[in-house]
Structure 1
Amino acid sequence: MLLLEILLLTLFAGLSMPLGALIARVERIRPRWLEHEFRHSVIAFGGGALLSAVALVLVPDGIEHLSTQAVLYWFLLGGLTFMLIDVLLNLFKTSASQLIAMLSDFIPESIALGATFALGGSNGLLLALLIGLQNLPEGFNAFRELRHSSHYSANRIIITFALMALLGPIAGVIGYVWLSAYPSVVAAIMLFAAGGILYSVFQDIAPQAKLTRHWGPPMGAVFGFASGIVGHMLTT
């Protein structure tokens, strides 16, 4: 029964990616300035949700099973690894940087979710909620990036995102079945993901969210983090 719950939670969290892509496909807001502000607010909302995952789940749970030195090692390694991925994406001029960043968050978080349930932790449901919240704007942004910089059709991108959602249940089962006996490994994965997410927020998301003489996008980040706080209070 618990395994079925993990499968469903990770699947629904992953399906936020194609849902975000669908919203990006049909989104047409007038006047033009409001459409522009909405898109930046969506980006900022995703940044707020990512920060809440780091602050409320990944770091608090990760530091419980590791020494201070190990915590610093895995956290900084996550940031450095995401930086290296960013450098390589820029070097090869790929059109899928947002897509790769989205999967880089989604897969380790899904592994951590499965292992959290196996270890009897209370944050599994909250982590699933936060994954879904962050995947929605990430799917939105990744769709727009691929649509504008590649030859892929809208339907093909959305179907691809839907298929990628299946990686969530696979990662969740791996965490539940194989990693639950190794809480220190799960903690390392959480901290690695937290470091990478923090790098992504300040490297990619925060700069994209800013608009001159517009104040909606920063509030999008506040709402994103607030959603994480509500989820934390409702599930703990």
Structure 2
Amino acid sequence: MLSQIILFSLLAGSTVFIGGLLSCYFENRVHNKDIKELIVHYLISFATGIMLSAISFVLVPKGMKELPILFSTTLFILGGISFYYFDKFIEKNRLKIPQLIAMLLDFIPESVALGAVFVYDYKTGILLSIFIALQNLPESFNSYVELRKLNHSKYKALFQLFVLSFMGLLFSLLGYYFLDTHEKITSSLMLFSAGGIMYIIFQDIAPLLHYKKRKLIAIGVNIGFIIGMLGEAIL
């Protein structure tokens, strides 16, 4: 079991660095600004679909199984409120705190839940790891762009993403060792994360999908959600 948790946690975290590498490649190879911005917007759209599918197929339904409805809804709204205040803090310190830190908002609690959920629901653990991996890819792609705008060298930006890619493993192991027999705490964490991610989607991400009257960009949300549907059907 431990080896499987390590494997899938590394898989989920690896896309943080892979997304940065892809962003670096496009920075060096693609010089048309409009094409770059279009790619970023399509990736953001795809990530939105993945995040919605993670909420719909894993975080909310699995979290509600162990908790009463009133407590579940309370945790969900608390997640949204907490992410709201953290979002305000980031906005006030935008020059000091890059988008990279904002990505930790959903990556860390999801990773903790991943390590814990593997113990009592192996298939859900696999599905969650796939969601996290696909979600991290476009987020880290955009994080690299943000870091470069803050005048980080490409090597420094990639190094930060490389280090961050292993944080998922660290928090998954913490979840495995400390929450493996605490299903209610794990379920609470999943619902809290779901509420926070829902807030991020409609406050920060969805407005970015409007780009030069290219309405087709939003279809990326459907594609991302289909990936979640396929994962749920297969597992």
Relative to the length of structure 2, the TM-score reads: 0.94
Partners of 1:57 and 1:120 in 2: how far apart?
11
Shift of 1:178: 1.3
Q: Is the 8 A contact 1:41 1:216 kept in 2?
A: no
Match of 2:17 in 1: 18
The two structures, once aligned, show a CA RMSD in angstroms of 1.5
Choose 91-100 or 50-59, whichever is displaced more.
91-100
Structure 1 partner of 2:84: 83
1:8 alignment partner in structure 2:
7
AA of the residue aligned to 1:191:
L
Query: Using the alignment, how far apart are the partners of 1:157 and 1:141 within structure 2?
Result: 11
Aligned residues: percent identity? 36
* Higher deviation after alignment, 28-37 or 180-189: 28-37
Comparing both structures, which one devotes a greater share of its residues to helix?
2
> In the alignment, residue 10 of structure 2 is paired with which amino acid?
L
Q: 2 CA distance for matches of 1:31 and 1:144?
A: 15
Q: Give the direction of change, closer, same or farther, for the CA distance of 1:97–1:58 in structure 2 (3 Å limit).
A: farther
> How far off is 1:13 after superposition?
1.0
Tell which deviates more after alignment, 77-86 or 212-221: 212-221
SS of residue matched to 1:15: helix
Task: Give the aligned partner of residue 231 of structure 2.
Answer: 231
How has the CA–CA distance of structure 1 residues 220 and 78 changed in structure 2, closer, same or farther, with 3 Å as cutoff? same
Shift of 1:63: 0.3
SS of structure 1 residue aligned to 2:179: coil
Whether the aligned pair in 2 keeps the contact of 1:42 and 1:217 (CA below 8 Å) is no
Contact map agreement 1:96 1:145 (CA 8 A) in 2: no
User: Secondary structure at 1:93's aligned position in 2?
Assistant: coil
1:222 Cα offset (Å): 1.2
TM-score (norm 1): 0.93
Gaps spanning 5+ residues in structure 2: where? Answer: none
Name 1:221's counterpart in structure 2. 221
1:101-158 deviations in Å (ceiling 9; x for gaps): 211111111111111111134211110000000000000111111111x231111111
- 1:50 alignment counterpart: 51
Q: Quick check: 88-97 or 106-115, which moved more?
A: 88-97
Structure 1 residue 202: Cα displacement = 0.6
Structure 1 alignment gaps of length 5 or more: none
CA distance in 1, matches of 2:8, 2:109: 15
**What corresponds to 1:131 in structure 2?**
132
> Contact 2:98–2:147 at 8 Å: present in 1 too?
no
Q: Secondary structure at the match of 1:178?
A: helix
1:209 equivalent in structure 2: 209
Q: 1:52 to 1:141 in 2, by over 3 A?
A: same
Amino acid at match of 2:218: P
Q: Within 1, Cα distance between the matches of 2:120 and 2:95? A: 39
Give the number of aligned pairs.
233
The change in CA–CA distance for 1:49 and 1:61 in structure 2 (over 3 A counts) is: same
Alpha-carbon distance between aligned partners in 1 of 2:122 and 2:8, rounded to the nearest angstrom? 15
Q: What SS does the corresponding residue of 2:144 show, helix, strand or coil? A: helix
Q: How far apart in 2 are the matches of 1:202 and 1:11?
A: 29
Partner of 1:187: 187
Confirm or deny: 8 A CA contact 1:96 1:146 kept in the other structure. no
Residue deviations 1:175-203, cap 9 Å, x none? Answer: 11210211110011000100010011111
Do the aligned partners of residues 4 and 29 (structure 1) sit closer, same or farther apart at CA in structure 2, a change above 3 Å counting?
same
Q: One-letter code of the match for 2:105? A: S
Distance 1:200 1:88, change over 3 A: same
